[in-house]
Amino acid sequence: MERNTERLTLTDVPLFRQWDLVCGYRQLRQMAQSIYMAGVLVGALVLGGLSDRFGRKAMLMWSYLQLGVMGTCTAFAPNYASYCVFRFAGGMALSGFGLSIACLVVEWIPTPYRAITVAITGFAYTLGQIILAGVAYAVPHWRWLQLSVSLPFFVFLLYSWWLAESARWLVLSGKADRAVKVLQRVATFNNRKEEGEKITVEMLKSNMKEELAALKSSYTVSDLVRTPVIRHIFFCLSIVWWGWGRG
């Protein structure tokens, strides 16, 4: 045991010695990562439906709050069990954040620009991973590092108050009046105030007639595995997530 711990950096020693994650207990570290990825999977299944019910903006704000709180709690976790619980909840919030952002991008960005916008969003995520490596080098102690990457989510929560809710979701949820106000505010922001004033509830409902009709169909989690193609994709994603968590 002494030989194994001597190879660790001084900032890692408190973590492994405090929770005895050495020798025969080393696999608990991989288990913690698997639990985090399980949270990501559960979040994708649960929070997507909540986003349809409560709205993209509401779920985005909740995800920011949960990421900030759970990340901060993780930094001060007193034991391994609580660490895993906080990480699981953080993984769920990560899915809620990703799903909400994806929905807002698709529902606000015009169709010709969606592909490039999604690509830029993915690039931003990759850039964040690169920056994280630099932050980890500058803040080597895991607790301070966890706190450093968690606190910014509270800042994101504050500015998310000014984001516009999806007008498409508002109409499909029977809140066409609010959708009109949101669209007029966005039109004013884009220097299209006159065009925004011409928007009416009847115009929105007319343009979204097919989607409103499709709303009568109900979907459940079972739809994820209803067809062979979807079952194959869902199975492959599950294997990738599980393998990543154990890697």
Residue 98: which H helix or E strand, with range? Answer: helix 80-108
DSSP class per residue in 107-173: HHS-HHHHHHHHHHHHHHHHHHHHHHHHHHHHS-SHHHHHHHHHTHHHHHHHHGGGSPPPHHHHHHT
Q: What is the pTM of this model?
A: 0.71
Residue 210 within a domain: yes
Residue 4 within a domain: no
Q: For position 63, what pLDDT does the model report?
A: 93
Residues 25 and 72 in one domain: yes
Q: Are 75 and 147 in contact (CB under 8 A)?
A: yes
More reliable by pLDDT, 6 or 193: 193
Residues 87 and 150 in one domain: yes
Residues 182 and 108 in one domain: no
Q: Can you tell me the distance from the alpha carbon of 149 to that of 5, in angstroms, rounded to the nearest whole number?
A: 27
The mean pLDDT of the chain is 77
Tokens representing residue 18 in the block: 């405090």
Residues 192 and 72 in one domain: no
Residue 2 within a domain: no
Q: Can you tell me the distance from the alpha carbon of 211 to that of 200, in angstroms, rounded to the nearest whole number?
A: 17
CB atoms within 10 A of CB 58: 15
* Burial of residue 164 (number of CB atoms within 10 Å: 0-12, 13-18, 19+): middle
Residues 247 and 148 in one domain: no
The terminus-to-terminus CA distance of the chain in angstroms comes to 23
User: What letter would DSSP give residue 78?
Assistant: -
pLDDT of 148 over the 70 cut = yes
pLDDT of 67 over the 70 cut = yes
DSSP class per residue in 42-60: HHHHHHHHHHHHH-HHHHH
Residues 137 and 68 in one domain: yes
pLDDT of 10 over the 60 cut = no
Residue 135 within a domain: yes
> How many CA atoms does the CB half-sphere of 152 hold within 13 Å?
6
Q: For position 122, what pLDDT does the model report?
A: 79
Q: Can you tell me the distance from the alpha carbon of 211 to that of 143, in angstroms, rounded to the nearest whole number?
A: 47
Q: Residue 235 is part of which domain span?
A: 219-247
pLDDT (average), residues 12-32: 59
Residue 145 within a domain: yes
